[in-house]
């Protein structure tokens, strides 16, 4: 369905609106209240799988108003159109404020890391930053699908490093490739405001693997579960004997 929205959004839009009209009939102006300004999956698609919203509208227990808020009053919400909505409770739902990696501050060798200067490695690691795997799911499918795949890959990597005696895994991008490859936002085909506001803070992606943030479950499943762990871009190394001794002494 997602792929169809990318190539034939008008077809999907008409199909969705037809279903909405079938659910609520003439009770609500579907064109006004249930037709977004954007095409399906240009932003997240709102699903009502058990029809509870439509049943509530049909029963008269709920209603839909589409307008702009002028101000909050003592008794409710004043709308730009001049109408007033009486309200006992107002729930603010003004959108998400995304932060990179939960807002944690990272340093490498005493220097603060600016993730916007780095490239994503398969959407789960960053160039030049060793031993850090982060989870980012799908915007076009269940988030946990990709979270599970990344967890599986991370376990494969840890087991491989333990078996081979490696201590660091660091994605490295060649200077000539970094200079020549097209730079794209972490998510570059999703117009939701909460994404667009912060994409400049996230790691960038290129136009070729592994320097991309894939959003395709079928391809990811093969890449994370079956493909070889190591490639030319993921550098595995073992700390020197002196460094090992220092760590052991510090631990003791």
Per-domain residue ranges of the chain: 2-63, 100-251
Q: What does the pLDDT read at residue 80?
A: 95
Q: What does the pLDDT read at residue 161?
A: 94
Interatomic CA distance for residues 129 and 194, integer angstroms: 26
Interatomic CA distance for residues 233 and 168, integer angstroms: 13
Q: What does the pLDDT read at residue 240?
A: 65
Interatomic CA distance for residues 3 and 12, integer angstroms: 10
Q: Please, where are the H alpha helices in the chain?
A: 2-7, 9-24, 30-33, 52-59, 143-164, 175-180, 193-196, 217-225, 241-251
Residue 72, beta-bridge partner list: 77
Q: Is 212 exposed, middle or buried (0-12, 13-18, 19+ CB in 10 A)?
A: middle
Q: What does the pLDDT read at residue 243?
A: 47
**Cα 13–14–17 angle (5° rounding)?**
85
pTM of the model: 0.71
Q: What does the pLDDT read at residue 242?
A: 41
Task: State the 10-residue block means of pLDDT for the chain, 252 residues long.
Answer: 87 93 87 90 83 90 92 95 94 82 90 94 95 90 92 95 94 93 86 83 92 91 91 88 46 47
Q: What does the pLDDT read at residue 14?
A: 93
Interatomic CA distance for residues 143 and 133, integer angstroms: 16
Q: What does the pLDDT read at residue 250?
A: 52
């Amino acid at each position: 369905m997602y792929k169809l929205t990318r190539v034939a959004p008008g077809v999907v839009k008409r199909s969705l609106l037809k279903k909405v009209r079938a659910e609520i009939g003439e009770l609500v102006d579907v064109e006004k209240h249930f037709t977004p300004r954007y095409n399906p999956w240009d932003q997240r698609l709102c699903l009502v799988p058990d029809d509870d919203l439509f049943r509530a509208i049909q029963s008269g227990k709920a209603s839909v108003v589409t307008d702009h808020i002028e101000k909050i009053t003592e008794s409710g919400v004043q709308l730009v159109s001049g109408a007033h909505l009486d309200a006992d409770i107002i729930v603010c739902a003004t959108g998400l404020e995304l932060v990179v990696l939960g807002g944690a501050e990272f340093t490498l060798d005493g220097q603060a890391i600016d993730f916007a200067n780095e490239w994503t490695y398969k959407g789960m690691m960053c160039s030049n930053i060793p031993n850090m795997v982060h989870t980012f799911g799908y915007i076009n499918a269940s988030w946990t699908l990709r979270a599970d795949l990344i967890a599986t890959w991370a376990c494969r990597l840890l087991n491989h490093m333990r078996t081979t005696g490696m201590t660091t895994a660091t994605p490295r991008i060649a200077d000539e490739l970094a200079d020549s490859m097209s730079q794209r936002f972490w998510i570059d085909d999703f117009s939701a405001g909460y994404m667009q506001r912060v994409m400049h803070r996230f790691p960038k992606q290129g136009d070729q693997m592994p320097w991309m943030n894939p959003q395709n479950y079928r391809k990811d499943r093969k890449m994370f579960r079956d493909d070889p762990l190591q490639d030319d871009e993921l550098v595995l190394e073992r700390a020197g004997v002196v460094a090992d001794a220092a760590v052991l002494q510090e631990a003791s």
